Amino acid sequence: MARKGAKRRPSAADLRGERLSYGEPVTVGGRTVITVTRVRASGAGKGRAVDATPVGYIEVTADGSAYHPIEDPRRRLRAAATAATTVVGLLAGARAIRASRRPVRLLPPGRR
């Protein structure tokens, strides 16, 4: 049993869903940069996985601060692939529903 107030290491079970993580500030020449990362956990039990993706950085100068996103070139490709898969699935589902409503012919036309 842990002592009250004792620090414990975070586990993968502590990461539910998606969260942002901020890196240690790095200062060079009057400019401070803080990295921003999206952290996601998936899976259950012993098969849990943690994925970290950089999403941007915060730049702090004497003039102020600004967030700069990091563009992921594969993001649009993944969105297009997801849309195409959805359309193909909808078309296949509609065709299967129509086929299930047609009467089944066991004999060729004209024969009973």
Nearest to 17 by CA among 51, 41, 43, 52: 41
Side chain identity at residue 90, one-letter code: L
Domain definitions of the chain by residue range: 15-70, 72-102
Tell me the CATH number of domain 15-70, given options 1.20.140, 3.40.1350, 2.20.130, 3.10.150: 2.20.130
Q: State how far the Cα of 97 lies from the Cα of 83, in Å rounded to an integer.
A: 21
Query: Could you give the percent of the chain with pLDDT greater than 90?
Result: 33
Q: Is the pTM of this model over 0.75?
A: no
What pLDDT was estimated at residue 68? Answer: 92
Rounded Cα distance between 37 and 24, Å, is 12
Residue 4 confidence (pLDDT): 55
Average pLDDT on 89-105 reads 82
Mean pLDDT of 35-53: 80
Q: Please enumerate, as own/partner, the contacts of 95-99 that have beta carbons within 8 Å and a separation of 24 or more.
A: none
Residue type, 24: E
The chain-wide mean pLDDT, for the chain, equals 79
Mean pLDDT of 80-89: 93
